[in-house]
Structures are given as C-alpha cells and as structure tokens.
Structure 1
C-alpha cells in the first residue's frame, strides 16, 4: 500500500496535476528524441557496413597490385620508391550536433595526387597499389567518423531510454497515484462537510 507524505489540499492537488502534465510532456519529448537518434544511428550503421565492404574490396585490390609490383619491380625497389610518397597532411576533428549529441566530423584538405617518383622506375601495378592505398586511407577516415558517431549516439539513446523509463514507470504513475489520493480525500471531506452542514441546518430548523 502506498504511503503518502503529501498533505491532501487543493493547492497540492493543482501542484501535482501540473507536475504530472510536465512529466508527460517530458516523456513525449524524450520519446521523440530517442526515435530521431535511433533513426540517425541506423542510417550510420548502414553507412559503416557499406564503408567496410568498400575498404575490404579496395584493400584486396591494393595488396594484389602491391604483390604484382614486388614481383615485377623487386621488393627493395618498391620499398625505396614508397619512401618518397607524400605522407598524409594534417586534418581537423570538428563536431556537429544531432539532437544535442556532439558527433565528430573529420575535415581534411583533399589534394590531387602527385607523384614524388619518376614513372620510368615504376609500372602500372605500383601506381595502382599507391592509388588504392590512398583511397583506403580516405575510407578509413570516413569509417572512423561514422563508428565514433554510432558509439556516441548509442550512449545517448541508452541515457534517453533510462530517463524516459524513469518518467513512464516511476514518476508519472506516482503523480497519478498522488492525484487520485488527494482527490479522494478531498471528495470525502466535501461529503462530510455537506452532511455536517445538512445536520446543522436540520437542527436549526427544529429549534425554530
């Protein structure tokens, strides 16, 4: 049986009704937020799956080309020329907001590929390997961005779900129960006052 620590007055009844209204509105907003976050996360999961497939395919093509280059050019020559290839330029990690959740965005300058080695020392297999590995690097950046975003959204969904459940399963039923209790007590008091007033009137008439 519930134990109520609130005084059953009209002021507390109004206060409890306002709190119930606020709690229900809060639950609706959290539910909408959770739906949007889940939709966004599922979209990112699809993107991550697609990126992983592209990375695997491009990696496979790159390694096949690299193996052919090692065979046709010699591994030492391939390693020596590879050292002259320009390293990755700096990048920035920015953030965008998705329903209040800060998710990362990797910003880097896209430069046209330029060779630091002479074509007379290489062949098409080596060039294909270089281009494929550069493509893989870009895809890995994209995948890191997407996977990090999925993780952050998942954590926020979990937090939002917990808060929504607390309102739906605890706060809202508690306010409803409190309102029912106060309302019943006030109605009973009104009935008692009505019968008391009726008896007083009846006694007054008899005296007259």
Structure 2
C-alpha cells in the first residue's frame, strides 16, 4: 500500500489548523431579561434576537390607579436633568400642600358634623317646646282667636348670609336679625300663653338658620 507523501500530510494539517471562513450559526443563550431556557439566535455573531415567551421589553409598572405610567422621552442632557429635578421638587411641594389642605378640610368637616348634631338636638327641643306653647294658647283662647292673632305677625324675616373661606372652600354664615319681642296683636282678648308661644317660635327661627348653616357647610366641605 503506497504511503502518503510528507508534503500532503503537512498540507492537511495546515488545513485543519486554519480557521474556517464559514460563520457558525448557533442558538442564542438565555439572559437576565429572557427567563426562558433558550431563544432563537441570529446569523450575525454580534447580535442575539430573542423571541418566545418571557422575552422582549418588560411591561410598564402600573400606578396606583391601575393604569400604566406614561413614559416621557427627554434628551439626555444636563439641562434636561435640571428641569426634571425642578419639576419633581415642585410636584412634591404641591403634594405636601394638597395633603395639608386635605387634613385641614377633614378636621373642619368633623368639627362641623359634631356641631350639626348638637344644633339638630337643640332645634328638636325648641320645636317641641314651641308646639307645646301653641297647644296651651289654643286651649286658653280657642283655635279661631289664635289664628286671627297670628295674622297680625309679619311673615317676612330678615336673614343675613355671609361667607368665610376654609382652604378655598366657601362656608356660609347665616344670621337672623333678632328683634325684641313686641306683640303685634291687641292685648285685649289675648292670653299670656299666646305671648309665650310667639316668643318660642321666634327662637325657633334662629335655630332653623343655624341648622341650615351647618348642613350647607357640611355639603360644601365634603365636595372639596
């Protein structure tokens, strides 16, 4: 059997040692951004194209409202960084002011609700007392004579309404012009029970105004 020449053997060894001009294509390796076992690679040796489940860009983290946080594209410059830092400082300051306003409004609302409960109890007490005096006047004078005496009392009542501001919320102040008791009917043919009933209903008007003031204040503070 003829033996290969020494020149042919050295030529084959040089061919095996020389790098192959063909580029190999292999599957891409898993990375931190790709939790899968492997992803399909690319023929280019310097790039790796990842596909499949778990690969690609991560979804945006939702905010407290459940919606994704919008992404803001800004140039990577120092001036953009300073503007972003100033905007963040202003946003934090505005948040602190709004949080302080919320605490003050809640405290005012709680105080007004407690005040309203006391005024409702006072209104109920005065209402029962006024109707009790009216019943006594009817028993002393009769229903028709009390009705004729009530026609002499003026129906118009002077009410002054002003407003005060609580952290931007307008809260009303209702005042009824109080006047000393003066009977508008004739003293002849009337009883003292009618005078007491008239005074009781006069005090009832002021209580109604105070309750209306607190109820309106609660509605406006709650809307803020």
Q: Distance in 1 between matches of 2:117 and 2:189?
A: 38
Return the offset for 1:71: 1.9
Identify unmatched segments of 5+ residues in structure 2.
1-58, 61-70
Q: Which residue of 2 is the match for residue 183 of structure 1? A: none
SS at match of 1:94: strand
Q: Which residue of 2 is the match for residue 65 of structure 1? A: 133
Q: Distance in 1 between matches of 2:179 and 2:155?
A: 12
Q: Which residue of 2 is the match for residue 56 of structure 1? A: 124
Return the offset for 1:147: 1.1
Counterpart pick for 1:133 among 201, 210, 222: 201
Return the offset for 1:142: 1.1
Q: Distance in 2 between matches of 1:96 and 1:107?
A: 13
1:31 paired to 2:124: no
- Choose between structure 1 and 2 for higher RCO, CA contacts under 8 A separated by at least 6 residues: 1
**TM-score, scaled to structure 1:** 0.69
Return the offset for 1:84: 0.8
Q: Distance in 1 between matches of 2:186 and 2:120?
A: 33
1:84 paired to 2:175: no
**TM-score, scaled to structure 2:** 0.64
SS at match of 1:121: coil
Q: Distance in 2 between matches of 1:37 and 1:101?
A: 9
Question: Aligned pair in 2 of structure 1 residues 100, 12: CA closer, same or farther (>3 Å)?
Answer: same
Q: Distance in 1 between matches of 2:72 and 2:207?
A: 60
Return the offset for 1:4: 4.2
Q: What is the aligned-residue RMSD (CA, Å)?
A: 1.7
Aligned length: 156
1:121 paired to 2:189: yes
Q: Distance in 1 between matches of 2:158 and 2:177?
A: 8
Counterpart pick for 1:42 among 79, 85, 110: 110
Identify unmatched segments of 5+ residues in structure 1.
157-208
For the 8 Å contact 2:176–2:205, the answer to whether it is kept is: no
Question: Aligned pair in 2 of structure 1 residues 108, 137: CA closer, same or farther (>3 Å)?
Answer: closer
Q: Distance in 2 between matches of 1:96 and 1:58?
A: 28
Larger radius of gyration: 2
Q: Distance in 1 between matches of 2:133 and 2:163?
A: 37
